[in-house]
Amino acid sequence: MSIDWNRAQKRPKKNQKVEGQILLDLRERINELDGNLVSMTEKFSSAKKNIDLISEQKFDIDIEITNLKSQLEAIFTENVKSIFQKIAELALRSKLEEQ
Residues 29-46 as b/e (b if ≥16 CB within 10 A, e otherwise) read eeeeeeeeeeeeeeeeee
How much is the pLDDT for 75?
97
Distance CA 10, CA 68 (A): 70
* Alpha carbon distances (Å) from 29 to 3, 18, 35: 15, 16, 10
Compute the average pLDDT of residues 33-52.
98
Domain coverage including residue 49:
5-98
E-state strands within the chain: none
Number of domains composing the chain? 1
What is the model's pTM? 0.58
Residues 55-81 as b/e (b if ≥16 CB within 10 A, e otherwise) read eeeeeeeeeeeeeeeeeeeeeeeeeee
Residue 1 has pLDDT above 90, yes or no: no
Least confident of 12-16, 24-28, 80-84: 12-16
Q: Are 4 and 22 in contact (CB under 8 A)?
A: no
